[in-house]
A and B are shown apart, each in its own frame.
Chain A
Amino acid sequence: MIFTWYIYAGMAVAAVFLLFGLGRLDENAQGAWVFRPLLIPGVLLIWPLVIWRCVILWRGEEKLDRHRMPRRRQERVAVVFACAIPIIIFAAMFVRQDPAALPPPIQLEAAK
């Protein structure tokens, strides 16, 4: 339900953005129309981010940071990632059940 409304909102944003906003914000997109339908799924899924970026670009608040890659962040994420994988795998191996090792049926009380 919520997801459906999210996508509807995305459609509205996509229409405005692709028809009007795009050419003003990105000079490489001026007059380029064939690639625009390709952007629709992206706008539908991350339209809040699209609005946020539009505001930044509109106000001209873009900084030099544009060229600073989040290397430190990537490094941390990659290390956490590289540690999480073996933890999941070994935990999954540990809990793996073997049908052959199940105890046979045991009668606790005889029939009354």
Chain B
Amino acid sequence: MAKTQEPFFVGWGKVPKDLRLFLICCAVGLVVGFAAMAYATASTQEDTGAGAFMGQTRATGVLQVEPYPILHVISSPHFEKGDTILLSGNGKRGAIDQAKDHDGKIVQIRGFRLDRGGLQGVQLRNGQRGLRPTENQETSMQIPVESLGRWKLSGEICDGKCLGGAMRPGTGLAHRACANLCLLGDVAPVFVSSGPIDGSEFLLLSNEDGQAVTQDILDYTAILVGAEGEVERHGDMLVFKISPETIKVAQ
């Protein structure tokens, strides 16, 4: 049987002496433990890469609407001639509404620059202020399209806007729902490959016909997958014409 002398705590009464020390130790231990846990968890957070909003910018270039709106730059204070940049709208929206009537035309864009070294984008201002065709439609610039053959790639499917630096981090499972929401808003999906193909590890995704592929990839965003498809170079941008039925979760 238990000892009668065991200290007995009554909530509304005084804390017995023997217990007081024990409880103070518990309280201090708990606070110190929480502090240590906070430090350990916070100080081991991982770097999310170089991508970020880089301030306002403008550019003139040739607009390509499919699979998702991209611009082949002719002139800009921030981009080189020949750069290809992903266009997105305000918030979790793609640029398709602003771009759809101007495929192949020379347009002038204004907005906020997103740059992740190897992946460049612009978040357009709303309406005409963000994207409008220029009066002079003559250009000597040709958009070269070149096939790089059929590839089996491994990596992560992300939304091009958050990945480009609109969110830090804009990858991983914790961010998955946000990525899906962006894709549903017609933001361009981007495949982050485990290794570079022809010098680039970021590839714009399209279906096998070179059109938007959003609905077929929603279940596979933010996890590591393997997939097959043809890779094409459009100007400075690689397009991965993914075959949805070949997408498999890695390992």
Q: In their complex, do chains A and B touch, with some C-beta pair under 8 Å?
A: yes
* B118–chain A nearest beta-carbon distance, Å: 15
Chain B residues positioned under 8 Å from A97 (CB to CB): 223-224, 250-251
The answer on a CB contact under 8 Å between A107 and B150 is yes
Do most interface residues of chain B lie in helix, strand or loop, or is the interface mixed? strand
Interface residues of B in 213-246 (CB under 8 A from A): 223-224, 226, 228
Interface residues of B in 28-86 (CB under 8 A from A): none
The answer on a CB contact under 8 Å between B224 and A105 is no
Cβ of A38 < 8 Å from any Cβ of B? Answer: no
Chain A residues positioned under 8 Å from B196 (CB to CB): 105
- Among the stretches B6-14, B124-132, B141-149, the one at the interface with A is B141-149
A98 to B148, CA, bound (A): 28
Chain A residue total in the interface (Cβ 8 A): 16
Chain B residue total in the interface (Cβ 8 A): 21
The answer on a CB contact under 8 Å between B151 and A107 is yes
A110 to B148, CA, bound (A): 7
* A42–chain B nearest beta-carbon distance, Å: 23
Using a CB–CB cutoff of 8 Å, the interface residues on chain A facing chain B are: 95, 97-99, 101-112
The answer on a CB contact under 8 Å between A111 and B148 is yes
Chain A residues positioned under 8 Å from B153 (CB to CB): 105-106
B149-163, CB under 8 A of A: which get 1 and which 0?
111111100000000
Using a CB–CB cutoff of 8 Å, the interface residues on chain B facing chain A are: 146-155, 193-197, 223-224, 226, 228, 250-251
A99 to B222, CA, bound (A): 12
Question: Apart from A95-B251, A102-B154, A105-B195, what 12 extra A-B contacts exist at CB < 8 Å?
Answer: A97-B223, A99-B224, A102-B155, A102-B250, A103-B226, A105-B153, A105-B193, A106-B151, A106-B152, A107-B149, A108-B150, A111-B147
The answer on a CB contact under 8 Å between A105 and B194 is yes
Name which residue of chain B comes closest to A108, CB basis. Answer: B150
The answer on a CB contact under 8 Å between A102 and B149 is no
Chain A residues positioned under 8 Å from B146 (CB to CB): 111
Chain A residues positioned under 8 Å from B155 (CB to CB): 102
The answer on a CB contact under 8 Å between A104 and B251 is no
Most buried by B among A105, A108, A111: A105
A112 to B193, CA, bound (A): 23
Give the residue of B147, B154, B223, B251 whose beta carbon is less than 8 angstroms from that of A105.
B154
A94 to B12, CA, bound (A): 49
A106 to B155, CA, bound (A): 12
Chain A residues positioned under 8 Å from B251 (CB to CB): 95, 97-98, 101
The answer on a CB contact under 8 Å between B152 and A108 is yes
Give the residue of A99, A108, A112 whose beta carbon is less than 8 angstroms from that of B194.
A99
A7 to B250, CA, bound (A): 44
The answer on a CB contact under 8 Å between B250 and A108 is no
Name which residue of chain B comes closest to A96, CB basis. Answer: B251
The answer on a CB contact under 8 Å between B151 and A105 is yes
Chain A residues positioned under 8 Å from B147 (CB to CB): 111-112
Chain B residues positioned under 8 Å from A108 (CB to CB): 149-152, 228
Chain B residues positioned under 8 Å from A104 (CB to CB): 154, 194-195
* A80–chain B nearest beta-carbon distance, Å: 27
A111 to B241, CA, bound (A): 14
The answer on a CB contact under 8 Å between B194 and A103 is yes
Query: Please, could you name 21 A-B residue pairs with CB atoms under 8 Å apart, sorted by A?
Result: A98-B251, A99-B194, A99-B224, A101-B251, A102-B154, A102-B155, A102-B224, A103-B154, A104-B194, A105-B151, A105-B153, A105-B193, A105-B194, A105-B195, A106-B152, A108-B149, A109-B150, A111-B146, A111-B147, A111-B148, A112-B149
